Amino acid sequence: MSRVGKNPVPIPDGVEVTIDGALVSVAGKLGRLDGRIAPEVSAALDDGKVVVTPHGEGKRARQMWGLARSVINNMVVGVSQGFHRDLQIEGVGYRAQVAGRTLTLDLGYSHRIEFPIPDGIEITCERPTAIRVAGADRQAVGQVAAEIRAFRKPEPYKGKGIRYVGEYVRRKEGKKK
């Protein structure tokens, strides 16, 4: 039995949830998100909460039960509070800045990297070495943060590169003389 799936998703004030078969739409102050749930489960509104139930006792139905509940919960939290990932840049001369809908990165290459900011995502740089990726869609926020980090992953010898805030980079010992 799914420990995650059996908990109903509470709907906070200011959030509107509509369920039309397998399509779940959530609207709130930060936008509107639409998502599909697997055919092995169904969702229903019950007294200000979304309840997800499986259609059987199979392994896939139990897996989709917890997944569907988590996806719906992430949509509700996303349109009411939003999600964010913080990145930090380590390295001499490495910096980032936002101009319009473009993130410009100087990462020690012979050229600047121009990253267009996708719709539904907000990127801010309060310092030249700090990047905050925010938005209502948790998957999109994580994906954009991973794409930015992939431009220059942290290397183990000097620790230079882009890393998540709080990420531990395992350091290696350099050459010996």
- pLDDT tens digits for range 72-100: 999 999 999 999 999 999 989 899 999 99
Q: Which has the closest alpha carbon to 122: 88, 95, 153, 85?
A: 85
Same domain, 25 and 50: yes
> Could you tell me if residue 177 is inside a domain?
no
Residue 44 lies in a domain: yes
175 within some domain: no
Which domain CATH number covers 27?
3.90.930.12
Domain that holds residue 47: 9-80
Q: Of 38, 57, 80, which one is at a domain's C-terminal end?
A: 80
Question: Which of the four pLDDT bands, split at 50, 70 and 90, describes residue 62?
Answer: confident
What is the pLDDT confidence band of residue 2, given thresholds at 50, 70 and 90? Answer: low
Residue 62 and residue 92 in one domain: no
* Gap between the Cα atoms of 116 and 7, Å rounded: 39
Do both 91 and 76 map to the same domain?
A: no
- pLDDT score at 48: 86
Domain ends where: 80, 103, 132? 80
In a domain, 170, yes or no: no
Instruction: Read off the pLDDT band of 148 (50, 70, 90).
Output: very high
pLDDT at site 123: 94
Question: Which of 36, 34, 30 lies closest to 136, judged by CA?
Answer: 30
Q: Could you give the maximum distance between any two Cα atoms of the chain, in Å?
A: 71
Q: How many structural domains comprise the chain?
A: 2
Q: Is residue 133 part of a domain?
A: yes
Is residue 94 located within the same domain as residue 119?
A: yes
Check pLDDT > 80 for residue 104.
yes
Q: Are residues 63 and 75 in the same domain?
A: yes
Kindly tell me if the per-residue pLDDT of 101 is higher than 80.
Answer: yes
Given this model, what pLDDT does residue 161 score? 92
How far apart (Å, rounded) are the C-alpha atoms in residues 69 and 94?
Answer: 41
The domain boundary, picked from 42, 62, 80, lies at 80
Structural domain contains residue 176: no
C-alpha to C-alpha distance for 1 and 53, rounded to whole angstroms:
11
